[in-house]
Amino acid sequence: MPSPAAPAYLSIPDAAKPGQKGGTLVAEHVDGICEHRRLLESGDYRPSGCPLCGRFLHILDLRPRKLRDQPDSAEELICRYRCRPCGAVWQVLPGFLARHLHRTWGAVQSALVAAGTLEPTGSEWRVRRKPSTLRRFMARLGASAVVLMQALLAAKAPVEGVLEALGAWCTRGELVEGLAGAGQIEKKRKLQKFAGWIHRLAPGLRLM
């Protein structure tokens, strides 16, 4: 049975506003809030250079991000950098933050494991879920994974065996479980690690 087509916003990378350069960089190695705060304080989040022109990036501002369903934080600061010569603005997100979902990936995974959509890993916590939010999460993870599989194949990621076993009509959730089961992504952080991977291969392409 083919999965429903993914909604367009899942398949079309975010475009910067017209006339605005820059975008989002994901610091994939940042798994936790303590590490995030340490990097903010020490200034070690600064990319080595502007991704567009390679020149030095200056801190532009720190913007608060609300985190729902998080036991140890309700809000974290996100740093934006500006390249003065070319005008590009880059925000650097820690890998654990689910960019469009107002949560950490851990909180999203916890909700989807409790709903039976993902397999438990022992790293989840209890979250209070609004039924409408959960339905939205489940629908996104139940959408076709074809665009994500194309991104993996186009980047020559060594996942052909996994994709073949899953078949062309698998859902995004099945793809995550398949990759985690094959050891391609860390099981405990399967949503976070896959979302970071996909963003690296096709910036702006969303897992959910």
Instruction: Indicate the residue among 86 and 165 with the shorter CB distance to Zn ion.
Output: 86
Number of Cβ atoms within 10 Å of the Cβ of 77: 12
The footprint of Zn ion (CB under 5 A) covers 50, 52-53, 83, 86, 88
CB of 11 to Zn ion, least distance (A): 28
As measured in angstroms, the least distance from the Cβ of 188 to Zn ion is 36
Q: Compare residues 46 and 187 and give the one whose CB is closer to Zn ion.
A: 46
CB 166 within 8 A of CB 175: yes
To the nearest whole angstrom, how small is the minimum distance from the Cβ of residue 25 to Zn ion? Answer: 13
Token pair for residue 175?
Answer: 């793809």
Looking at beta carbons only, is 50 or 97 nearer to Zn ion?
50
Which residue number, 50 or 141, has a Cβ lying nearer to Zn ion?
50
Q: How far is the CB of 65 from Zn ion (least distance, A)?
A: 24
Residue 55 vs 100, nearer CB to Zn ion: 55
Distance in Å, CB of 81 to Zn ion, minimum: 10
